[in-house]
Amino acid sequence: MIDLVHAILYTLVMALIIFCCRAFPWILQGFNNQISRVKDIVHRKNRNIDNQPWLSFVERLVPPSVMTILAFSSILDGLWPGSAFSSITAITTVLASLVTILLHVWKRNALLSILGGTGLYVLLLWTLG
């Protein structure tokens, strides 16, 4: 666990990164305006932010793979917490994950799926543990 001073430092750095993600198109525009002033004279090309293939790669491949990795790694953490295998946390994790998936596919309501899955997890830990 990191101490409070570091936690505040991490918070500010992460906040800056999140802001840059949200401000990216505006940052890119500012950057492109500088470049295109020079390049337009030479190439007469229209630089549109929508036509950049690597940006499309980031948009379409990063979210699915990152979300899958986060979901699977936290489920696996529940199955093998630390080094010791615990059958109780394994069972509760599997059941609560299944309920979360089913609730979400059924209703597609984020709040309902999170509360339903977490509620079941807490209840199962309480009754089994």
Partner 1 sequence: MKNTIFTYTLPVLLGYLPLGFAFGLLLVDAGYPWWLAPLMSLTMYAGAAQYIAVGLFTAGASLWEAMLITLLVNSRHLAYGMALFNRFPPRSLRRLYLIFALTDETFALLSSLPSPQSQKEREAYHSRMFWIALLDHSYWMAGSVLGAIAGTMLPLKIEGIAFALTALFIILMIEQIFIVRRAYPFVVAALLTLLSRVFLPARLLLPVSIVVSLLALGLSERYVLKGQRSLSGIGDTGEGNRAGTQEMMQHSGETEKL
Q: Which residues between 9 and 68 bind partner 1 (CB under 8 A)?
A: 9-15, 17-19, 21-26, 29, 48-51, 53, 55-68
> Can you spell out the DSSP letters for 19-87?
HHHHHHHHHHHHHHHHHHHHHHHHH-----GGG-HHHHHHHHHHHHHHHHHHHHHHHHHHHS-SSS--H
Q: Which is nearer to partner 1, 23 or 35 (CB)?
A: 23
Q: Is 104 in the site for partner 1 (CB under 8 A)?
A: yes
Give the shortest CB-42-to-partner 1 separation in angstroms.
21
For 20, other C-beta atoms within 10 Å of its C-beta total 10
Q: How far apart are the first and last CA of the chain?
A: 26
For 32, other C-beta atoms within 10 Å of its C-beta total 15
Give the shortest CB-85-to-partner 1 separation in angstroms.
13
Give the shortest CB-41-to-partner 1 separation in angstroms.
22
Q: Which is nearer to partner 1, 55 or 90 (CB)?
A: 55
Q: Is 78 in the site for partner 1 (CB under 8 A)?
A: yes
Count of residues making up the chain:
129
Give the shortest CB-36-to-partner 1 separation in angstroms.
16
Total interface residues for partner 1 by CB under 8 A: 75
